[in-house]
Amino acid sequence: MGKSSTRSSTNDQTSYEAKGNFMPINLGCDPQHQKTLSDLFSAATATHEIRDTSLDNSYLWPEEEKILKSASQKRRWDFVTGRKCAHVAMATLGIDPAPVLIGDRNEPVWPDGLVGSITHTSNYAAAAIAHKSKILSLGLDAEPNEPLPHKVLSRISDTEEFNWVQNTKGKEIAHPGKLLFSAKEATYKAWNSVTKEWLGFRDAHVSFHLENQTFTVSINKASSIKTLSGTFGIAQDLILTAIEIPVS
């Protein structure tokens, strides 16, 4: 892909990893089932993650930097780290990094021929990217591994999901409510990228399969997409959920 501005991308990924801020985060409900971010997707998807509070907008393309003119400090960190992850993931796919702009709902607008998803929370950010010829859509979400407020759980869950959270809490998973919330966020990202339609929390029913750290989503509204499959990983301070919709 062509560049509208001059930037050097040679060995870009290596130079940033040398800072020590790109170490893979181990994810797993127990030590016997450890995963990393890349394990949540197929080989067709490139991923990158970062924990770095020192990044600034000097890492952005000029087109991206314009978006941050009036942004808060938190918004700047989210945007810069998310785009940096996206740029490195593009390089992993063998593509020259290019600007990732925003759409009408602040969603990422990917360069032609690519699909992707960006997430950020606290001091963590990550991106997943794939060729549109291989993957129809991606959904990636990160959340702090902490309790979900009861009021929020009641709002986002149906009866079956609510009961699952109550029965699982503190046993197999410390904070299943937050896992449910994250899975629904990843679902919305993957869904909206294809349909461009709104999907409410209760329009998606999530069933978890803890033995292999996967989940299934049933869409409860008229759509060409009725079922989605996802994976998840849990670190000490982080929950990650991922959905990949392959090209049929």
pTM of the predicted model as reported, rounded to 2 decimal places: 0.86
117 vs 129: CA distance, rounded Å? 7
* pLDDT single digits (tens) 134-189: 999 999 999 999 999 999 999 999 999 999 999 999 888 999 999 999 999 999 99
* pLDDT single digits (tens) 24-40: 455 554 544 567 899 99
Sheet containing 135-144: which strands, arranged edge to edge? 135-144, 238-246, 227-234, 214-219, 204-209
Angle, helices 159-168/176-195, rounded to nearest 10 degrees: 140
Sheet containing 45-50: which strands, arranged edge to edge? 45-50, 124-131, 114-121
Residue 142's contacts (CB-CB under 8 Å, 6 or more residues apart) are 119, 120, 121, 124, 125, 126, 182, 238, 239, 240
User: For position 170, what pLDDT does the model report?
Assistant: 87
User: For position 62, what pLDDT does the model report?
Assistant: 93
Given a cut of 80, is residue 9 above it in pLDDT? no
Residue intervals of the chain classified under CATH 3.90.470.20 are 12-140, 144-246
**CATH classification (class only), 12-140:** alpha beta
User: For position 25, what pLDDT does the model report?
Assistant: 52
The answer regarding whether domain 144-246 maps to CATH 3.40.228.10 reads no
Q: Residue 147 is encoded by which pair of tokens? A: 């309790």
5 vs 62: CA distance, rounded Å? 7
